[in-house]
Structure 1
Amino acid sequence: MIDEFAKDYLHRQLRHNRETMLWKLDGLSEYDIRRPLTTTGTNLLGLVKHLALTEARYFGLVFGRPFPEAMPAWDDLDARGTDMWATADETRADVVDRYQRVWAHADATINALQIDAPGHVPWWPRPDVMLFNILAHLVNETSRHAGHADILREQLDGSTGTTAEYAPERRDWSARRATIEQAARAAADGGSPR
């Protein structure tokens, strides 16, 4: 009973995190979803592309159920990092549709297997795993990137939250930011005056 509860809970959280990732693209231009917003080039569409490849590998190869579309091998050094950005020829629809096809494939794997079904992750130091490990890993991975996406989206237009339903109203944060900046400067100078 606890096994089914754990599997359902983790799967539900993964589905929520996936939707959050796609919501972060809503209403933005092609340029804004693709442009590098960090020193390393992190961008919203690239995060979605990366998660598609990640889920395809973990819910496919790890359990002997390969995703039916071509993707770079996990150890292909020439392809490293290419999953973190979309080329000019890859449309938003291409990337999103692929991510959703991966969801269907991953969901089929999750639904078909028991929580303790064995898998093998050759790139992990302890490669023998169970579906539980992979579900927990992908919930964590997707949550981590949803956090990145939240910050990137906030930089672009001030939007925050996990879904439109729960997004706080946009407001002018300049006063709060100024207060925080003042506190940071005071701390750097040895503390705030009392």
Structure 2
Amino acid sequence: MRIVLASSSPSRRMILSSAGVDPLIRPADVDEDALLTSLAEAPPAERVAALAEAKAQAVAGDFPGDVVIGGDSMLLLDGRLQGKPHTPERTIGRWREQAGKKAELLTGHCVLFGEQKVVETTSTLVYFAQASEADIAAYAHSGEPLQCAGAFTLEALGGWFIDRIEGDPSSVIGLSLPLVRRALYSFGLNVNDFWNR
């Protein structure tokens, strides 16, 4: 029995690896834009959870005896959901918007084990620093935030520009260990069942 991560996110993999689990990585092929468009009227937390569930379901059929985890994160800033910026220019624009502000990072999770399922979105408040223009540009051109929801990381270079968070740090990085633990317990499993030995 393994944990299968339906994501190519190095941050999600790092969280599990640091917590003693060597997950099987099987990124899901999901049309995120189409799914988000179909859920345009849904509350933000529901939209992020739907992305996570679509990813987990996309690979679950290949791993019937394993625990499959799908995840997705988006930043809710000034009432608008923001995903990955993808380019340095968009990253700079995002940082000019969010510097000195507070925003809500929503991380959707779907944990599947056979017919059992836990789908939940965690919410963490992120307080962005009033970063200088030079630092914003340097950070954007480092490449680090281009594939990150909200155009930042907490655990690497981006940590310089986050004043504080209120909530689960692992959820901000990409995967809530407390949520996954609760899901495993609800399935009758233990966390240590998956530790590297």
Q: Which has the larger radius of gyration?
A: 1
**Higher relative CO (CA 8 A, sep ≥ 6), structure 1 or 2?**
1
Same fold by TM-score, threshold 0.5 exceeded?
no
Tell me which protein shows more strand as a share of its residues: 2
TM-score by length of 1: 0.30
Q: Which has the higher helix share?
A: 1
